[in-house]
Amino acid sequence: MAAISLDPSLSLQHIGTDTHQHGPVVEEIEGLIRVYREGHVERPQIVPCVTSALPLELGVTSRDVVIDKFTNIWARFYVPAVCHAKLPLLIYFHGGGFCVGSAAWSCYHEFLARLSAKAGCLIMSVNYRLAPENPLPAAYEDGLKALLWLKEQALRGAGEWWSRLCDFSKIFLAGDSAGANIAHTVATRLGSNRALEAMALKPLGLKGTILIQPFFGGEVRTHSESYMVQPPRSVLSLAVSDTYWRLALPAGANRDHPWCNPLSKGSSKLEDVWLFPTMVCISEMDILRDRSLKFCKVLVRAGKRAEYIVYKGVGHAFQVLSRSPLSETRTLEMMAHIKVFIGR
């Protein structure tokens, strides 16, 4: 399977003259999403959705499971075919600015299948609701719902094909871009009351969070946002980022809303929140680089166990959206780092 390469020049447009049966277009990220004044949303299939089938030589089995049929939340599981003991589980949230993306996107299907094989872990890739039809906190609620569903499976015992191989005492929250934001926000909500979290999720044992290029923002621009407005080798520009936030945040909120900016004055003080050990994966050519670095430094100052790795020469979402030799090298490095983190 080959990774999908998106054009880094994907642009944002505010269109007031284009008309349609649903009225004029009010927001657009070319090739990804178009929003009309009357609320209609179109998402061109720039990345194909694929079934759970995988090549036999990969050594990973994948199937889809329904979590909530009423809200259409589901997950795609990845299980190594050969394992000699129960394995840790990554609950993974895909990226896409909260507005696009799917657990069935071919690029995520390939990346997570390979990660499962190389890191020796089970992966539960959650397909959550998207904005603007379902603005935040819908995605966070779906993340919590996925955790509670997993708790129910653990209480039922080893009944499902994947659960017989799952070590429910070693659960990690993970994701890239908007998915990393979801993983962090879910962890923060749980950590706001450690005793309640431990009781509510028992017998699950949450051990850490893995944040890949976390999608955070703020009204004040960082250095990397200012000078890498349209960065090379990256699919995320400043204009695209701002559009995603306008579509995802509650009406009237700006980019200093706590869901966008976890370091803003309105956010919970990290010193007062119990957090799991955290690993942050940062891309050197990403507009979010400096924001991620500051986030990590604040975590450490707050006494949290946090570490970060900067991947040189690559941009946002390189591990799923680029097929260059350098991106492949960095992707293998990232997989190796994740394997070490979850194996501690």
Query: Which domains, from first to last, does the chain contain?
Result: 50-343 (3.40.50.1820)
Token duo for residue 299: 């975590």
Give yes or no for a contact between 331 and 246, defined as CB atoms under 8 angstroms apart: no
Dihedrals φ, ψ of 283, to 5°? -100, 135
Token duo for residue 100: 């696009």
pTM of the entire predicted model: 0.93
pLDDT of residue 13: 42
User: Each residue's pLDDT tens digit in the chain (344 positions)?
Assistant: 433 334 433 444 444 444 568 889 999 999 999 999 999 999 998 999 999 999 999 999 999 999 999 999 999 999 998 888 899 999 999 999 999 999 999 999 999 999 999 999 999 999 999 999 999 999 999 999 999 999 999 998 767 789 999 999 999 999 999 999 999 999 999 887 765 666 688 899 999 999 999 999 999 999 999 988 766 667 899 999 999 999 999 999 999 999 999 999 878 788 888 899 999 999 999 999 999 999 999 999 999 999 999 999 999 999 999 889 999 999 999 999 999 999 99
Cα separation, 105 vs 85, whole angstroms: 30
Q: In what order do the strands lie in the sheet with 12-13?
A: 12-13, 25-29, 33-36, 41-42
177 included as an active-site residue: yes
Strands (E), 40-165: 41-42, 60-68, 73-80, 87-93, 122-127
Candidate list 177, 224, 237, 283, residue with the active-site label: 177
Residues 6+ apart with CB under 8 A from 91: 124, 126, 143, 146, 147, 150, 171, 172, 173, 174, 183
Cα separation, 259 vs 188, whole angstroms: 11
